[in-house]
Amino acid sequence: MPKPKIEIDVKKCEALAQRGLTDEAIASAMGFSSKTLQRRKKEMSELSAALSRARARAEGSVADRLVSLMNDPDIPARVQLDAVKFWLERRAGWTLAAMDKKLMGDALTHEVPVINVQIDAPNEHTPAWAELREQWRREWEQERQELAEKQEVDV
């Protein structure tokens, strides 16, 4: 007697793909093997199309977010920007050069003057660094003492 055929909910698979899940993760979340999903994608054109549509929407959404982050002067979102770039490189197959071209367009063909900047910041070999490190140590010690005093009062 053959095994019963596993029903695959195309809408649920599409929703998971739009959230950025891989085929393996989708299969695991749905409770079947990735081989089953691969086989069904070949058998069911609507499943394959739904996953492709969902991934394209996700990629477009992340690309739009990247552009809005880069154009918004009020957001110092370096961490967010790095996360979006990581996602686009890893999941969407973009390269840094492709991202630059998509975002900058013709601006990349113009020469930009080079600016040399020297920053006089303390490093670990300067007296200023030692003073800064000592200040941090004192602040940390003071916070520790205040916390210990507070815990004694609470008990």
pLDDT tens for 95-138 read: 777 666 666 665 555 555 666 655 555 556 667 667 777 787 88
| H or E segment and range at residue 63 | helix 45-71
Q: What percent of the chain has pLDDT over 70?
A: 65
pLDDT at residue 1 above 80?
A: no
**pLDDT class of 150 with cuts at 50, 70, 90:** confident
Provide the residue type at 72 as one letter: D
Cα–Cα distance between 130 and 1 in angstroms, integer?
77
pLDDT at residue 32 above 60?
A: yes
In this structure, are residues 22 and 59 in contact, taking their beta carbons and an 8 Å threshold?
Answer: no
Cα–Cα distance between 36 and 24 in angstroms, integer?
10
Q: What is the pLDDT of residues 44-62, one digit of tens each?
A: 999 999 999 999 998 888 7
Q: For all residues of the chain together, what is the average pLDDT?
A: 77
DSSP code, position 121? -
Listed range (14-23, 24-33, 105-114) with the worst mean pLDDT: 105-114
Instruction: Report which of 15, 8, 10 is spatially closest to residue 36, judged by C-alpha positions.
Output: 8
Furthest C-alpha separation in the chain: 81
Instruction: Report which of 80, 60, 61 is spatially closest to residue 70, judged by C-alpha positions.
Output: 80
